[in-house]
Structure 1
Amino acid sequence: MAHAAARSASVIELAQELIRRPSRGGIDAYTPVLAVLEDWLSGHGLPHRRLHDEAGHLVGLLIEIAGGRPGQWWTLDACVDTASFGDEEAWTFPPTAADVVGGWLRGRGAADSKLAAAAFCHIAADLLPRAGTLHGGLAVLLDVDEHTGGFGGARAYLADPDAAIPAGVMIGYPGMDDVVVGGRGLWRATLTVSAEAGHSGSSRSVLGAVSRAARLVQLLDTADLPGLPPAGAEFGLPPKLSVTAFHGGEGFSVVADRCELNVDVRTTPAFDAHDAETLVRKAVAELDAELPGPAPTRITPIACWPPFQLRPHEQPAAALMDAAAFMGLTVRAKTAGPSNIGNLLAGQAGGIPATAGFGVPYEGLHGIDERASLAELPQVYAVYHRAVLELLNAR
């Protein structure tokens, strides 16, 4: 704790520099925020390199510290891109304020996850002088393609032939009450509804694509999904279906001949991607039978990730929970509703186990007035530091 407390000021200073560089996913250039990290890493002698996607775009940084003894590699992961600012007029301080007020670090990315990125860089710096005594190695992935949903940094890392495949990953999402050991999966698709185009003032009755699509939304919203699992079930969350986008038509005088819906189904071990697709196809078939169109409604799958869940005794969850207990913290193993990079890792050949959250308390994540509590930073830092050492000392 004394070491962690001493490191906190430097961690906060680096996080502030990151927050001052806007890095909204899909909006801002990522070079400025990554340049801050590269300067810091170079100044502390940490080996690092850039990661690029298949198109050559910069998608992250990778720090690699090889131990001097045989063993497995483990990874700390934090994103340094962020959600958008939303309505900036609704914020009570600038989204890039990066100031500390009342013990809170304020600004977009303070919670998700620039403070964690800064802490993980410092942990890597702590381990570098003692690398020769460690088993395996530590990688720190700093991803700038997370909030887009593309996870380009993680994908580039996993595809890099020069990078060791990790035995497990700890993702630095915030929240101090839980160690997140699982998450629902997802199945996503775009549904294209067709109809005959026409004039809205025509004497002939024309049922447009927007109206047909509206009926499809009703069918999807009332689809029969399994409910909450019984108390004590290993995976305690139900599946969920959401229509997240609706696009079709323009102006007033034309009845649209095309409308598209985005459908997001969160899956569980008991209701998987096959079940999700079957349910959506059933709703589509019902629409086409009830309100026939000139062409069948088209289903275009977009993404599919499996759910994942570690047991508390499995690594790296066990190391993180043991370290938290050693620090006197009471945390529970939690399976989260949202999907995350843990799902991507679970979908790799053989599966890569991951935790997807333990960090400082926060407010306003993905909303207005995002901020992260700093009072607990030394404890969180010490927990990750101890967990990493436990994993790298394991034979």
Structure 2
Amino acid sequence: MASGPEDARRNETVGSVVRLAQELIRRPSRGGLDDYGPVVEVLERWLTARAVSHRRLNDPGGALAGLLVEVAGNRPGPWWTLDACVDTAPYGDVSRWTFPPDSGEVRDGWLLGRGAADSKLAVSMFCHLAADLARSRDEFAGGLAVLLDADEHTGHFGGVLAYLADPSAVRPSGVIIGYPGMDEVVVGGRGLWRATVTVHAPAGHSGSSRTVISAVSRAARLVGLLDAARLPGTGDPSGFPLGPKLTVTAFHGGEGFSLTPDRVDLNVDVRTIPGFDAHAAETLVRKVSAELDAELPVRVGTEVTEVACWPPFRLGEGDQPATALLSAARTAGLSVRAKTAGPSNIGNLLGVHGIPATAGFGVPYEGLHGIDERASLTELPTVYAIHQQAVADLLNSPHLFSD
């Protein structure tokens, strides 16, 4: 059990974590919409006041992509990274919120506002962990980097890419991605293969007496064929616990009423697994497109253009950094399970570079990416202590944060 002075120090730290998170929420930083300068400047001032080393990261075009904090020990050893995003999802319909999206208020034990859950509370928590560590740098080996990504919700992942491309940054042995939720630690995720599929047909007048199969009708038929396509189930020989999934997520074409368009573009999203990879996904979509062209032939065949491709990933039992996080949570008496996620995450991108990653663990939440986003503060002391213990274990100094 923690002593009285330890309790007081922890309460002081938790209060500071909340205050910094409030400041961050009150600086709108919607991905692709807001200037990230104000929210990053809050962090720069906070880190500078505590003499914590940090520097900006920029994308290839020179735009601000993130902030990198680095704390080195006094002995050789592996480096580990904590990653959380300072940009957020958009607000959506603000009229449906019961408080301002940039509120930052604490009400009934909840931190309110866009980014409270994803992921400004994690940003604040990771900054405090780095500051704690900076005061004890002679007590551990290797180092800790904290990546504060300002280009995550755009889908560009500019902060991570700038970090990996930075020649002066130490390549991490593993990454913990800050995300809310106390029940699970994500140790893997399905991959993705995405493509635009362009369906053609002669343009025509909607009132013409000639029978014309329009691009809209052909595209609608293609959606039906894709929806009916057979994919393997969950019995993947590799033991991957999820099956693949194919979804048509967008349908663009035509304008007005009297003209049938000569093309329609579809977005096709395929979630992949080791036994049904990107090559299999592309083969399937091209096969179904060829079936459409055979059934409803036109002069210009259907075109398939790959947009993005990430492989699936899954950490093995005992792999770091997931083991340290799971162990710390279970030692604290929590029932936490390792999870392989259906959606992809930055862990897939890091996996391309051979860097193991886990997403989670954080506080309970509501309204993530929706209205009335909020994060529960009741569990914050426990979550903070678990991250402290996980970092200490990764840095081979189990009592690093103890007095």
Q: How high is the TM-score relative to the length of structure 1?
A: 0.96
In structure 2, C-alpha distance between the alignment counterparts of 1:310 and 1:9, rounded to whole Å: 34
The equivalent of 2:267 in structure 1 is: 262
* Letter matched to residue 310 of structure 1: L
Tell me, in whole angstroms, the C-alpha distance in 2 between the residues paired with 1:6 and 1:324: 22
What fraction of aligned residue pairs are identical, expressed as a percent?
Answer: 68
In the alignment, what sits opposite 1:378? 381
**Which residue among 247, 271, 274 is the counterpart of 2:276?**
271
Per the alignment, residue 280 of structure 1 pairs with 285
Structure 1: which amino acid aligns with 2:394? L
Q: Which runs of 4+ in 1 moved over 6 A?
A: none
1:100 is the counterpart of 2:106? yes
Shift of 1:50: 0.5
- Indicate if the aligned counterparts of 1:316 and 1:355 stay in contact, CA closer than 8 A: yes
For residues 355 and 272 of structure 1, do their structure 2 counterparts lie closer, same or farther at Cα, with a shift above 3 Å needed? same
User: Once the two structures are superposed, what CA deviation does each residue of 1:47-101 show, in whole Å capped at 9, x if it has no partner?
Assistant: 1111111111111000011111000100000011111111111111111111111
The alpha carbon displacement at 1:132 in A equals: 2.2
Structure 2 distance, partners of 1:290, 1:148, is 38
Q: State whether structure 2 residue 197 is matched by structure 1 residue 191.
A: yes
How far 1:233 moved relative to its partner? Answer: 8.0
Listed one character per residue, the Cα deviations across residues 163-218 of structure 1 (whole Å, up to 9, x for unaligned) are 00000000011110011111111000011111111111222222221111111111
- 2:401 matched residue in structure 1: none
Residue deviations 1:285-304, cap 9 Å, x none? 11111111221111110110
Q: Matched residues in 2 for 1:113 and 1:312: separation?
A: 27
- For the residues of structure 2 that align with 1:393 and 1:87, how far apart are their CA atoms? 47
CA distance in 1, matches of 2:221, 2:35: 40
Question: What's the counterpart of residue 133 of structure 2?
Answer: 127
- Corresponding residue for 2:230? 224
Distance 1:306 1:87 in 2: 34
**1:366 aligned to 2:372?**
no
Residue 246 (structure 2) aligns with: 241
Deviation at 1:394, TM superposition (A): 6.5
Aligned amino acid, residue 49 of structure 1: R
Q: 1:233 to 1:300 in 2, by over 3 A?
A: closer
Q: Tell me the SS of whatever aligns to 1:380.
A: helix
Of 318, 340, 362, the residue aligned with 1:335 is 340
Question: 1:304 & 1:387 partners in 2: Cα distance?
Answer: 32
Q: 2:350 aligns with which of 335, 345, 348?
A: 345
Tell me, in whole angstroms, the C-alpha distance in 2 between the residues paired with 1:249 and 1:14. 48
Q: Which residue of 2 aligns with 1:7?
A: 13
| Structure 2 residue 305 is matched with structure 1 residue 306 | no
Structure 1 residue runs of 5 or longer lacking an equivalent are none
1:52 alignment partner AA: N
Q: State yes or no: 1:113 paired with 2:119.
A: yes
Give the aligned partner of residue 148 of structure 1.
154
Residues in 2 aligned to 1:104 and 1:159: alpha-carbon distance in whole angstroms: 38
Q: How far apart, CA to CA, are the structure 1 residues paired with 2:384 and 2:282?
A: 42
CA positional deviation for 1:235: 2.1
Inter-partner Cα distance in structure 2 for 1:94 and 1:33: 17
Q: CA deviation at 1:246?
A: 0.8
The separation in 1 between residues aligned to 2:273 and 2:110, in whole angstroms, is 36
Structure 2 residue identity aligned to 1:169: V
1:364 Cα offset (Å): 0.8
| 1:159-170 paired onto structure 2 within 5 Å | 159-170=165-176
Deviation of the 1:312 alpha carbon: 3.6
**Residue pair 2:238, 2:274 contacting (<8 A) in 1 also:** no
The within-5 A match list for 1:29-178 is 29-178=35-184
C-alpha distance after superposition, 1:296-332 (max 9, x if no partner): 1111101100111112411111111111122221211
The answer to whether the Cα contact below 8 Å between 1:4 and 1:379 also exists between their aligned partners in 2 is: no
Per-residue Cα deviation, 1:334-388 (whole angstroms, up to 9, x for no partner): 111111100000011xx10011111001111111111101011011111111111
Q: Give the superposition deviation at 1:131.
A: 1.0
Instruction: Count residues with an aligned counterpart.
Output: 392
Is 1:17 the equivalent of 2:23? yes
How far 1:281 moved relative to its partner? 0.9
Q: Residue type of the partner of 1:254?
A: L
Quote how far apart the aligned CAs of 1:234 are.
3.5
Q: Distance in 2 between matches of 1:8 and 1:235?
A: 38
What residue identity is the alignment partner of 1:128? A
In the TM superposition, what are the counterparts of 1:196-211 in structure 2 within 5 Å? Answer: 196-211=202-217
The CA deviation at 1:11 is: 0.4
Q: Take 2:145 and 2:218, find their aligned partners in 1: how far apart are those partners?
A: 51
TM-score (norm 2): 0.95
Offset, 1:229: 3.4
Measure the CA separation in 1 of the matches of 2:111 and 2:166: 35
Distance between the aligned counterparts of 1:211 and 1:128, measured in 2? 62
The aligned amino acid for 2:196 is T
CA distance in 2, matches of 1:149, 1:129: 35
Distance of aligned partners of 1:394 and 1:301 in 2 relative to their CA distance in 1, 3 Å threshold: farther
Letter in structure 1 aligned against 2:386:
V
Greater CA drift, 325-334 or 54-63: 325-334
Q: CA deviation at 1:43?
A: 1.2
Q: Please give the alpha-carbon distance, in whole angstroms, between the structure 1 residues aligned to 2:199 and 2:281.
A: 19
Structure 1 contact 312–333 (Cα < 8 Å) conserved = no
Whole-angstrom CA distance in 2 between matches of 1:306 and 1:17: 37
SS in structure 2 of the partner of residue 78 of structure 1: strand
What is the alpha-carbon distance in structure 2 between the residues aligned to residue 219 and residue 22 of structure 1?
43
